[in-house]
Every structure is written in C-alpha cells, then in structure tokens.
Chain A
Amino acid sequence: MRALVDHPSFREGFRSGAPIAVASLILSISFGVLAEPVMGVAAPIVMSAIVFAGSAQFGALAVLAAGGGVVAAVAAGVLLNARYIPMGIALAPSLSGGRWRRALIGQAMIDFSWAAAARSGGAFDWRFMLGATAPAYPCWVAGTAIGVFAGDLIGDPEALGLDAIFPAFFLSLLLSGEASTGRRAVIAALLGAAIALALVPWAPPGVPVIVACLAALIGLDRAAKRREAGELPEALEP
C-alpha cells in the first residue's frame, strides 16, 4: 500500500484526478439533493459509498422516483454500468497479481481515471488509474452527504451550467489523451460519437455508449493489414 501510494504513477494520477474530484463533488451534491426526497437520508450516502457509479446511481434513482420497482431500477443501473465490461477487458492485460487483487483494482474504474490511464498501444497504467480515482471517491461520498443535508442551501446545479462540466472534461481528455492520437483513433472517436448520436433519441440510457464501443472494432482491420504486411504471424492466439 505504502509502495503504491508513493509510486510516481499513482502520484501523477492523483494530481490529474484533483479537478475531476471537484466535479464529482458537485455532481454528487446534486445526486444527494435529488435522492433525499425519494430515498431518505442514509440510503443515498450508503449508495454513493458502495455503488460509486454516477450514471448508474442517477439512473436507478430516476426509476425509483418515477415509482418504478426494484427490478426496473436495478436494470437501469446495470445497463448504465455495462460499459465497464469492455473497459475492464481492455484494462485486464495490464494487470498482474492474483484474482482478488485484480478484482479490487477493477473496482477503481471510473470513466475519467480509466480513460486518463490509457496509454498508446492498448496498455493501461493501473497505478495512475488508482491515483486518479483516489481523490474522487471521498468527494463523491461527501458531496452526496452535503446534498442530502444541505441541499436547500445550494442552488440549482443546472443554472450554474454544471452539467456541461463532464462532457467538457471528456472532450479535453479525448483531445489530449495519449491513447487518442493517430488517424485510427480519430476515426474510432468519430464513429463512436455517430453511433451514440444515432441511438440517444430512442435507445434506453446506457445502451448508446455500449453500442458505441463497437466502433473500436475497426482495429480488427488494422490487425489484418499488419498480418498481410507480414508484421504479424498468422496464428495470433497461443
């Protein structure tokens, strides 16, 4: 633990995660404000502490607030979290150690820290990812508590334009990220955006992002080309 926290990658990730932690604080305050009338005082805070997934929490809350049942609320949350399956698969080759250790590292995946930890060539700096998630977690839980207890004191987050913060964050990550350089990455991004845009009007929340992950399959073409060029052996799997 000591070695991890002192590792340069963790520290670098921690620094990069500070701004997103502030944004998480603001977003979780609005979660607390919205959740308190539906879920009471303790439940939203517990939820933030053990689910720790913004979109899934908002999604499940929206279903409960509309009078939907447990199954519908959980289904909405799961759908909004399903993108962590491909994200986890991408992260997996970069992880070492036993199963429990890897499972634990996987829990630290949040969109921002996962994307910021992506390196060129499909590798992930997992220490960086843990560092980037570290400041966001306490802010997420504390923000929820602030929203629950002091929601009335805080104005409407939308009036402050705070819902534009996260897309702006992801945009800056997309434009400056190490993993998004090169023509292929630009095509994958444009294709992913187009798929999401086509699905947003009618697909259930969560689905557009998962389907957009398929844009990464254009990478198969690249592997085929490399093989043709003789850069890759015919049999790729051991």
Chain B
Amino acid sequence: MTDVWLTIALLTVFSAVIRASGPVLLGGRDLGRTATGVIELLAPALLAALIVVQTVGGDDGLDVDERIAGVAAAGAVLTWRRNAMLWAIAVAALVTAGLRALL
C-alpha cells in the first residue's frame, strides 16, 4: 500500500515539473522564427502520433483490433463534414462496439 502512495507522490511531483518546465524556463520569450517554424508543426505531428498510438497501441506494443475500423469510420465522417466532431466520435464508438459484438 505504501508503494501505491509513494508512486502517486513521485508521479505528482514529476508531472507538475514536466508540465511547468517549458512555461517557466521559456515563458513569454520570443524564441525566434527558426524555433517558431518547428513549434507550429508540433501540434499536427503530435496529434497524428497520438491517433496512431491510441488506435493500434496496446499494453505490450502493437494491438490491432476493431478500433481501426472505428477510427476509419470517424475519418470518413470527417471527410464528409469536417466539423462533425460529435458525429465522428459517436460513429467511432458505434462501429468499434458493433464489430466487437459481431466478431
């Protein structure tokens, strides 16, 4: 039980420091055009990576399952209506759940 609380305490401190690091060390500074050219591409790169990891990632590496079809269906919805976020996630869950019930 102590292990659990120690883990929580340490993870709290590390997480807070990690989240504060950039804002504290570099806050309010203009990092220059070179850095800005990189920063403006961080959001698309990170989002795309998160999509991949959460679609085919598991506890131990690759885990290919019904999520792929769900996320692909969400992609189809979004191609049709770019701002249909709620429809996209509803379709993703429905398709994934449907396939899991069938297969």
Interface residues of A in 138-184 (CB under 8 A from B): 158-177, 179-180, 184
Chain A residue at minimum C-beta to C-beta distance from B87: A172
CA distance A174 to B93 in the complex (A): 18
Q: Tally A-B pairs: CB < 8 A.
A: 337
Contact A121 B57 (CB under 8 A): no
CA distance A200 to B68 in the complex (A): 15
Q: How far is the CB of A124 from chain B (nearest CB, A)?
A: 9
In the complex, which range does the number of interface residues on chain A fall in?
35 or more
- Chain B residues near A (Cβ < 8 Å): 1, 3-8, 10-12, 14-16, 18-34, 36-57, 59, 61-62, 66-67, 70-71, 74-75, 78-79, 82-86, 88-89, 91-98, 100-101
Contact A64 B53 (CB under 8 A): no
Contact B21 A192 (CB under 8 A): no
Chain A residue at minimum C-beta to C-beta distance from B57: A200
Which A residues touch B57, using CB under 8 A? Answer: 200, 205, 208
Which B residues touch A93, using CB under 8 A? Answer: 26-31, 36, 39
Contact B32 A236 (CB under 8 A): yes
What sequence of 0s and 1s flags, for each residue 57-97 of chain A, a beta carbon within 8 Å of any chain B beta carbon? 10010101000011001100110011111111111110111
CA distance A23 to B92 in the complex (A): 13
Q: What 4 pairs across the A-B complex have the smallest Cβ distances?
A: A88-B22, A161-B96, A161-B97, A212-B49
Which A residues touch B42, using CB under 8 A? Answer: 86-87, 90, 118, 213, 216
Q: Which of B18, B28, B94, B97 has the most CB of A within 10 A?
A: B18
Q: Which of A19, A103, A118, A223 contacts B43 (CB 8 A)?
A: A118
CA distance A189 to B102 in the complex (A): 33
Which B residues touch A230, using CB under 8 A? Answer: none
Contact B53 A200 (CB under 8 A): yes
Contact B78 A159 (CB under 8 A): no
Contact A161 B21 (CB under 8 A): no
CA distance A174 to B39 in the complex (A): 15
CA distance A185 to B96 in the complex (A): 29
Contact A64 B4 (CB under 8 A): yes
Contact A159 B97 (CB under 8 A): yes
Q: How far is the CB of B98 from chain A (nearest CB, A)?
A: 7
Contact B14 A99 (CB under 8 A): no
Which B residues touch A180, using CB under 8 A? Answer: 43-44, 47
Q: How far is the CB of A15 from chain B (nearest CB, A)?
A: 12
Interface presence of A1 (CB below 8 A): no
Which B residues touch A97, using CB under 8 A? Answer: 27-28
What sequence of 0s and 1s flags, for each residue 103-124 of chain A, a beta carbon within 8 Å of any chain B beta carbon? 1011101010011001011100
